[in-house]
Amino acid sequence: MDPWLILVLIFLVATQGLEAASSLLNLRALQPQPPRELSDLHDPESYKKSVAYVRANLILSLFQGGVSTAAMAIFLVAGGFNAVDLFLRSLTQQELVVGLLFIGIILVFMFLVDLPFTLYKTFVVEERFGFNRTTIRLYATDLVKMALLIAVLGGPILAFVLWFFANAGSFAWLYCWAAVSLFSLALQILAPVFILPLFNKLTPLEEGVVADSIIDFAKQQHFPLQGIFTMDGSKRSTKANAFFTGFGKMKKVVFFDTLLQQLSPHEIVAVLAHEIGHYKLRHLPKNIAASLLQGLAMFYLLSLFLTVDEISHAFGMEHISIHASLVFFGLLFSPASMLLSMLFNVLSRKHEYQADQFAAASLNSGVPLISALKKISSTNFTHLTPHPFTVLLQYSHPPLISRITKLGS
């Protein structure tokens, strides 16, 4: 077997092995009783149910990761990539069309492997624990919309990348990075206006105590808001959330309708204060800058990778191509991607602590935010005692107990 192929298989297994180890450690970290600091979150029966929910999701993730990795390894060793490439070349000689269809088919293959697990999670696990409100019709509609968005938005940018790497010479990676970066930034601006409404209905928050409290606090913080909206998150799940969307003076605050049902006005303002903290502390531009640097490094490495023809031969490809090399690069890059994700999560957790402290300082108390975080965690059945390795590997937000400890200190 070719050394490059062996290396890819090792990377696939090692990456999945780390994720499996994380899930197993997180299973062992489940406790029969909640930590003393969080003893008020659940009654005994509710806590038992939350532990069962976390356990069910961890076990499902173990099976999903194992099956997905095995499917990709079998497809790879059996020459699936070459078979797809040859089939497409029998239909057309247009290299760009072959490339787009090739990557599209690989994405569909990966989606179909994962589909039974996502269906089971939504309609069995989430349903069993009272979270799911998604119907089969809504689920199918969401899939169709998402597929169309990927084709309409992702297709042109992918075509741009494939064409430039094939025709723009040694600086193609730089042009591609610039184009993808501009596209990503534009998408963040346009998504709230054109994409979000395709999936959820945004309704201006009704006048009242909650709206008045939010507006007053935003004015105190000199934080311009274009509007305050409620999103019908309850049509898919009972879980609660809130977020900001938009840039500059076009910023909107969006609350899930489920969140408004669960929190008091003081707690809702505390959640808003946390989000304003991210803005005031300039976390968004810092994250964007870090992401742009990561993309720059990735495109440069990709440009070097494309010059190594032996890699395509190792994967059994009869034709050397940009599109196949792009997929193979993704497989070889997976360990580095996991490491980068861990570093970004470290930064993200730091930002969450900082936003918490901003909220506590602006409200002269951390109590409202602590209360809000506890209610959201209790309602969503979060893991109250996650293993430190899982936190390091996967958590973009600190564990609840760490957040309330810092807020109370």
Q: Let me know if residue 284 belongs to a domain.
A: no
pLDDT, greater one: 243 or 59: 59
pLDDT in tens, 272-326: 899 889 888 988 888 889 889 989 988 998 888 887 777 777 788 888 889 988 8
Q: Are 224 and 251 in contact (CB under 8 A)?
A: yes
Are residues 86 and 17 part of one domain? yes
Give the domain range for residue 236: 202-262
The reported pLDDT for the residue numbered 47 is 93
What is the arithmetic mean of pLDDT over 169-177?
Answer: 89
**Tokens representing 391?**
């936190």
More confident residue, 384 or 193: 384
Q: Which of 309, 332, 350 is the last residue of a domain?
A: 350
Closest by alpha carbon to 383, among 35, 21, 15, 18?
Answer: 35
User: Considering 212, 244, 262, which residue would you say is the last residue of a domain?
Assistant: 262
- State the pLDDT at residue 250: 62
* pLDDT (0 to 100) of residue 103: 95
Residue 9 sits in the same domain as residue 128: yes
Q: Does 226 lie in the same domain as 326?
A: no
pLDDT of residue 49: 95
Percent of the chain with pLDDT over 70: 98
Alpha helix locations (H) across 78-133? 80-91, 95-120, 126-128
Give the mean pLDDT of 195-215.
Answer: 84
Q: Mean per-residue pLDDT for 219-234? A: 81
Tens digits of residue pLDDT in 29-75? 999 999 988 888 888 899 999 999 999 999 999 999 999 999 999 99
Q: Is residue 253 part of a domain?
A: yes
Q: Are residues 318 and 257 in the same domain?
A: no
Q: Is residue 249 part of a domain?
A: yes
Q: Indicate whether 100 and 23 sit together in one domain.
A: yes
Q: What is the mean pLDDT of residues 213-236?
A: 83
Sheet holding 242-245, edge to edge: 202-204, 227-231, 252-256, 242-245
For the chain, the domain total comes to: 2
Where is the domain boundary, 309, 333, 350? 350
Q: Could you read off the pLDDT of 329-387 as tens digits, one per residue?
A: 888 888 888 888 899 999 999 999 999 999 999 999 999 999 999 998 998 999 999 99
Mean pLDDT score, 224-238: 81
In a domain, 229, yes or no: yes
pLDDT at 167 over 80: yes
- Residue 1: pLDDT band (50, 70, 90) is low
One domain for residues 309 and 258: no
- Per-residue pLDDT, averaged over 141-170, amounts to 91
The answer to the question of residue 225 being in a domain is: yes
Pairing of strands 202-204, 252-256: unpaired
Please check whether residues 244 and 303 belong to one and the same domain.
no
Task: Mark whether 253 and 314 lie in a shared domain.
Answer: no
Number of neighbours of residue 135 by Cβ within 10 angstroms: 12
Q: What is the mean pLDDT of residues 260-274?
A: 89
Strands 227-231 and 252-256: parallel
In-domain check, residue 169: no
Asked whether residue 12 falls in the same domain as residue 126, the answer is: yes
Q: How many residues does the chain have?
A: 409
pLDDT in tens, 96-134: 999 999 999 999 999 999 999 999 999 999 999 989 989
| Residues 17, 119 within the same domain | yes
Q: Which of 74, 105, 75, 71 is nearest to 88 (CA)?
A: 105
Mean local confidence (pLDDT), 148-163:
92
Domain assignment present for residue 310? The answer is yes
The per-residue pLDDT of the chain, averaged, comes to 89
User: Any idea what the CATH number is for the domain that residue 238 is in?
Assistant: 3.30.2010.10
Of 226, 244, 237, 225, whose CA–CA distance to 262 is shortest? 237
Q: Looking at residue 307, what is its pLDDT?
A: 77
* 97 falls within a domain: yes
- The pTM for the full model equals 0.88
Instruction: State yes or no: pLDDT of 10 exceeds 70.
Output: yes
